[in-house]
A and B are shown apart, each in its own frame.
Chain A
């Protein structure tokens, strides 16, 4: 049972345009959400996170939006750059802070120059 779902396995975007990566979750106990980026042959690296008490968090070109009622979050990258081409994982944790983090299967983003 996939509690964190990334329904788009891949996404292609032109350089300079907006990339929107989506994530849905089913567990209403999740209260902290994270996005990780992964390049081939490397481990995932933390990108941005959001607590369930917020609906938006911004860090430079990256913004995460959380819609709790819809159990949906999205990552916006503006403007997209070729170096953003990677696999993006959505992840969620169900409180307590302890590291039982549930990951989605990832979305491969390709930014075309």
Chain B
């Protein structure tokens, strides 16, 4: 079974621009979660989508948004980029049912904002 894929793997953007990251979950997985990883902060939860609906949300500003499509693929958008948005963005998929805590992570998208 193919794993979680994320595109692009690397991205360089300028302050003020916007960016869209894509995540394709494992086939059959209906939940997709997004995390931001920065040095010293670990993995910070952004949001989780299940069946095209945002089910959980972390404490990030409204510049961070996402969506999920009917095939469970998900996109994350960051508008008006700031230098502090430079990070590794990870997406994780799971079956999404009650008790399905185990998540499968993609390799991440490394975003650099200059």
Question: Are B108 and A105 neighbours in the complex by a CB distance under 8 Å?
Answer: no
- The answer to whether residues A101 and B42 also contact, given A34-B101, A45-B105 and a CB cut-off of 8 A, is no
Residues in B with CB closer than 8 Å to A32 are: 101
Interface residues contributed by chain B, number (CB under 8 Å): 31
A96 adjacent to chain B (CB < 8 Å): yes
**Distance in Å: Cβ of B109 to nearest Cβ of chain A:** 11
CA distance A98 to B48 in the complex (A): 9
Contact with A along B21-59 (1 / 0, CB 8 A): 000000000010101000011111100101000011010
Sample of 18 further A-B pairs with CB below 8 A, known A98-B48, A99-B56: A6-B42, A36-B105, A42-B107, A43-B90, A43-B107, A44-B90, A44-B105, A46-B102, A46-B104, A49-B101, A89-B42, A97-B100, A98-B50, A98-B96, A99-B31, A99-B48, A99-B103, A103-B43
Question: Are B41 and A43 neighbours in the complex by a CB distance under 8 Å?
Answer: no
CA distance A6 to B108 in the complex (A): 22
**Distance in Å: Cβ of A106 to nearest Cβ of chain B:** 6
Closest to A95 in B: B98
A sample of 23 inter-chain contacts (CB < 8 A) reads: A34-B101, A43-B92, A44-B43, A44-B90, A44-B105, A46-B102, A49-B102, A91-B43, A97-B97, A98-B96, A98-B98, A99-B31, A99-B33, A99-B48, A99-B56, A99-B92, A99-B101, A100-B48, A101-B45, A101-B103, A103-B44, A104-B42, A105-B41
Q: Which of B4, B101, B107 has the most CB of A within 10 A?
A: B101
Question: Are A97 and B98 neighbours in the complex by a CB distance under 8 Å?
Answer: yes
**Distance in Å: Cβ of B31 to nearest Cβ of chain A:** 5
A93 adjacent to chain B (CB < 8 Å): yes
Question: Are B56 and A105 neighbours in the complex by a CB distance under 8 Å?
Answer: no
**Distance in Å: Cβ of A86 to nearest Cβ of chain B:** 13
CA distance A98 to B58 in the complex (A): 13
- The answer to whether residues A99 and B43 also contact, given A49-B101, A49-B102 and a CB cut-off of 8 A, is no
A41 adjacent to chain B (CB < 8 Å): yes
